[in-house]
Structure 1
Amino acid sequence: MRVVIFSILSFVFILVSCKKSSTFTQISILPQFAEIENVEDVHTILDSCVTPYIYTKVVSLRGLPVDEKKMKFVEMLLPSILVSQHSLYQKITRVEHIEHWLLTHPLMMKNDSLFLFKLFETYNCNEIPELKIRLKPHPASIVLGQAALESGWGSSRFFNEGNNVFGIWSYDAGENRIQALVGRDSTRIYVISYASIEESVNDYFETIARVNAYDEFRQERYISEKPFELIPLLNKYSEIGDVYTDKLKQLIESNDLTKYDSYVIKNDYFVEEVIKLSQAI
């Protein structure tokens, strides 16, 4: 099987006339948007099949007993992680659909060309094999662990005021953001303010996918879903390096977060949509 590799410049040649047509079946999730006025509004996760609640407003968990705080934090965050993971896997499926089509057809459909070009731009690459590596999500336990470290299990001001679970900084004065109370070397620091927890999780996955510092982590997660093999490769996520990854590993182990790696969205919230791919122009 030949490997299909495209540069962005090749789109000049791909967008030519084609008489064939194709369809792609996309499986989407119907999210259940919710706001939280108090911790009782957080929907309990009873088993490994999760309702996709997307929280657009959260409350600080600072004053709760430790065990309750941790549980409520997971219940707020896990649905968004599962939704984001599903979306990324759907993108991979669509990319593989394009890849398979091009094994037997010399030209790409217009819809596929636009879809692929947008992903190349977003994920800072220009080859299909590399794109698939960048799209693949990692286990929920790692996401939960990093979120817990960065937000103090939902106690941080950035989490409470801006749904910023991972403390991701803002460098654009034009986007919604929150100023940190303490700067660095007389420089003001801002973090992004998100519309929902899902938006924060999506941006986290995109950051891991785009930044060169995480290349080794991405390469390994493409072939492995074992969290404790992947964690050491996140040593560039924090200035404290291996100390950070040791803390992350200990947090995941002590809170049994790996059990959430097998959790899924309830089937009731999936919907199939057949996309008719138009002919290329």
Structure 2
Amino acid sequence: MTSPNRTKHNTIKGLLLIAVFFMALFPFIFISETEVEVSEADVSDKPKKVTVEQPKHNVDLPNFIAIADINTRKQQFFDFLKPAIDAENTKLAKLRAQLIDISNTLSSPQTLSAEQQLSLTNLAKIYKVEITADAAVLSQQLLLKVDQIPRELVLVQAANESAWGSSRFARIGLNFFGMWCFKKGCGLVPNGRDSGRNHEVAAFDSLEQMVSRYFHNINTHPAYDLFRTIREQLRDNNLELRPDVLATGLLPYSERGMDYVVEINTMLRHNHRFIKV
């Protein structure tokens, strides 16, 4: 008889193998949502006029780089972001509970109330799911997308993408995840952006807006289908949403691919004590 622990181990191992297979089969899906800041070479002896960029937000952002003690800096960084991340996960948990109620109603002799039907339609629009006549199918497709992302994984990604809150995009644009936008003036133009490119690194007005955009990106963008599939499999097997396992689904987040995932998992291990406080 196979033990429950053995079954869980095999499930997680299987998910990781799926992720590696996905990477090998679809290398073209890798997208870069972050931009490496490149300094322009000094080509003149004349002094250059330095323009100081003003923040595009009114958030009282801590000066993380000025905190000399590394452990203190890490703790303050995580503590700064935790409330917004927890609030978003709480919101998603409530929406998911509503969807589960709808799904249970659909599998019973009862019919959906007008309020439930409206909720289903609205969520389909928000989460980019095609509205079909089959409400049961629609509710299952939404359950794949309307779900939480472990706080630990979000925090570590924010630390990685923003250089612990010290990057230009974090300080000026309140963007801790390197997310892009494509409307002129929607954010900050990356230094060294290739000619002909029109993307900017998005700027946000609040932490809540920034975190909400990150969650929506992971929960809806086609590049993160694998992430959502892994999460669904963990749910189906009554396993916790382990950040190290889910990190494998973030292969497309960076052109570095597996090296990026390894770095995220290394950061998860090294910063566990700060995140759990």
TM-score over 0.5 for the alignment? yes
Higher relative contact order (CA 8 A, sep 6+): 1
Q: Deviations over 1:110-140 (max 9, x none)?
A: 3322221121112122421121121111211
Report what 2:176 is aligned to: 165
Give the letter aligned to residue 127 of structure 2: Y
Report what 1:179 is aligned to: 189
Report what 1:114 is aligned to: 118
Q: Deviations over 1:79-126 (max 9, x none)?
A: 111110000010001112222333446543333222211211121224
Report what 1:236 is aligned to: 252
Distance 1:190 1:93, change over 3 A: same
Distance 1:258 1:221, change over 3 A: farther
Report what 2:36 is aligned to: none
Report what 1:64 is aligned to: 67
Distance 1:56 1:117, change over 3 A: farther
Mapped partners of 2:183, 2:273: distance in 1:
34
Give the number of the structure whose residues are more often helix, by fraction. Answer: 2
Mapped partners of 1:188, 1:124: distance in 2:
24
RMSD between aligned residues: 2.2
Please report how far the alpha carbon of residue 170 of structure 1 lies from its aligned counterpart in structure 2 after TM superposition: 0.6
Report what 1:276 is aligned to: none
Report what 2:266 is aligned to: 250
Q: Deviations over 1:35-87 (max 9, x none)?
A: xxxxxxxxxxxxxxxxxxxx944234122222222111101101111110000
Report what 1:138 is aligned to: 149
Q: Does structure 2 conserve the Cα–Cα contact (< 8 Å) formed by 1:134 and 1:209?
A: yes
1:191 equivalent in alignment to 2:191: no
The number of residues matched between the two structures is 206
Mapped partners of 2:154, 2:273: distance in 1:
10
Distance 1:243 1:226, change over 3 A: same
Structure-to-structure mapping, 1:240-279, within 5 angstroms: 240-256=256-272, 260=276
Mapped partners of 1:101, 1:163: distance in 2:
42
1:214 equivalent in alignment to 2:230: no
Mapped partners of 2:159, 2:258: distance in 1:
17
Q: Deviations over 1:120-179 (max 9, x none)?
A: 112122421121121111211110111000001111121112221101001133x74222
Q: Does structure 2 conserve the Cα–Cα contact (< 8 Å) formed by 1:141 and 1:257?
A: no
Q: Deviations over 1:216-235 (max 9, x none)?
A: 11111231412222222211
Task: Give the counterpart of 2:128 among 124, 127, 131.
Answer: 124
Report what 1:203 is aligned to: 213
Give the letter aligned to residue 234 of structure 1: L
Distance 1:214 1:199, change over 3 A: same
Give the letter aligned to residue 96 of structure 2: I
Q: Does structure 1 conserve the Cα–Cα contact (< 8 Å) formed by 2:75 and 2:275?
A: no
State the SS of the aligned residue for 1:236: helix
Distance 1:178 1:171, change over 3 A: same
Mapped partners of 2:272, 2:187: distance in 1:
33
Mapped partners of 2:223, 2:273: distance in 1:
25
Q: Deviations over 1:209-268 (max 9, x none)?
A: 1111211111112314122222222111101101111111111111116853xx7xxxxx
Mapped partners of 1:210, 1:258: distance in 2:
29
Give the number of the structure whose residues are more often strand, by fraction. Answer: 1
Report what 2:100 is aligned to: 96
In terms of mean alpha carbon deviation, does 180-189 or 124-133 score higher? 180-189
Give the letter aligned to residue 156 of structure 2: G
State the SS of the aligned residue for 1:191: strand
Distance 1:212 1:188, change over 3 A: closer
Q: Does structure 1 conserve the Cα–Cα contact (< 8 Å) formed by 2:145 and 2:228?
A: yes
Mapped partners of 1:56, 1:95: distance in 2:
34
State the SS of the aligned residue for 2:254: coil
Mapped partners of 1:122, 1:130: distance in 2:
13
Mapped partners of 1:118, 1:257: distance in 2:
39
Q: Which 5+ residue runs of structure 1 have no aligned equivalent?
A: 1-54, 264-281
